[in-house]
Amino acid sequence: MSVLRLAYLGLAIWGAAHPMFHLLPWLAGNGFSPAALIAAWQANGAVAGLFWDLSISALALTLWILAEVSVRRNWSALWAIPATFLIGVSCGLPLYLFLRTRPI
């Protein structure tokens, strides 16, 4: 495996783990409440701006994945879509790049 692929994989793992260090304590304190999570995303302008920035980035990444998968037929790369929406762009993007750069 190339150094670049290892870097992508490392970033995907870090992008999954590091945000959870912040989210899991919040969930422990507030419970799994979608209403509370949405309220937290709108707590102030900085948080709302970051939420929309990441949401738009997730949509753009999803479109890119779908467009490339339809051409390259690299079906395993579709795993990056649920990773993006269930974990975050910080995991989904490097995971997609890891899956995309595998030897064919």
Give the pLDDT score at 70.
93
The answer to whether 11 and 88 have CB atoms below 8 angstroms apart is no
The sign of the torsion formed by the CA atoms of 65, 69, 74, 79 equals positive
Determine if the pTM surpasses 0.85.
Answer: yes
pLDDT truncated to tens, each residue of the chain (104 aa)? 899 999 999 999 999 999 999 989 988 988 888 888 888 888 898 999 999 999 999 999 999 999 999 999 999 999 999 999 999 999 999 999 999 998 87
Distance of CA 37 to CAs 51, 58, 63, Å? 11, 18, 26
